[in-house]
Amino acid sequence: MATENMEKDLTQEEVKDSINGETSACQEDKKSGKKSSKEQKKENKSKEKIESLEQEIKELNSKVAKEKDDYLRLMAEFDNYRRRTSQEKLELVSTASEETIKGLLPILDDFERAMKALKDSDDSLAAKEGTELIYSKLFSYLKSKGLSVIETEGKEFDTDLHEAVAQFPVEDEDKKGKVFDTVQTGYMLNGKVIRFAKVVVGI
């Protein structure tokens, strides 16, 4: 009887120990589960923060790129404006000087006619030299401003430079289609024709 009671007590103790062990294991599992959940939450928060920062970086990069593009466009527009205004100023100065020089061309024509008349006349040498001197000074000044004479004598007739006012028959084949005589001197200002040369063309 005593032996049986001892065996029962042992069995009950074993059952208690087993239950206690399972309970402890469950508690450990629960603790372990809580710890894993916290770590997971931390990881999720870290991921969210990283994603948020990456998104913010992308937005900032996009904003910087846009600002840079706007700055480059503005600089290009300003450069174009500066060039355009500079060109307009140059054209204004050029146009003003062109009109002034154009107004002086008839005076050059008068000087040329006067020199031709004096050459064939019996007037004094002083009158001839004085007229030539004044003409030379005037033309030298205008030349320094970019004025040049359009060459005509013996040159091929060029509609970009010459204006044919008459035609003259020539026997020499080499003179056909070329300028035979100049009626009025033509002029260029800085490479631009401001008055076509009026010429007679050989045919």
- Chain segment 114-159, per-residue pLDDT in tens: 988 888 777 778 888 889 999 999 999 999 989 999 999 889 999 9
DSSP character string of the chain: -HHHHHHHHHHHHHHHHHHHHHHHHHHHHHHHHHHHHHHHHHHHHHHHHHHHHHHHHHHHHHHHHHHHHHHHHHHHHHHHHHHHHHHHHHHHHHHHHHHHHHHHHHHHHHHHHHHHHHHHS---HHHHHHHHHHHHHHHHHHHHTTEEEPP-TTPBP-TTTEEEEEEE--S-GGGTTBEEEEEE--EEETTEEEEPEEEEEE-
What are the structure tokens assigned to 103, written together?
């107004």
What is the distance of C-alpha 34 from the center of its chain? 68
pLDDT of res. 86: 86
Domain boundaries, the chain: 147-203
- Chain segment 23-63, per-residue pLDDT in tens: 454 455 444 444 567 777 788 888 888 888 999 999 999 99
Q: Please indicate, yes or no, whether the overall pTM of this predicted structure exceeds 0.75.
A: no
Look at residue 184 and tell me whether its pLDDT is greater than 90: yes
- Chain segment 54-70, per-residue pLDDT in tens: 999 999 999 999 999 99
CA-nearest of 160, 153, 161 to 201 is 153
For domain 147-203, say whether CATH 2.30.22.10 is its number: yes
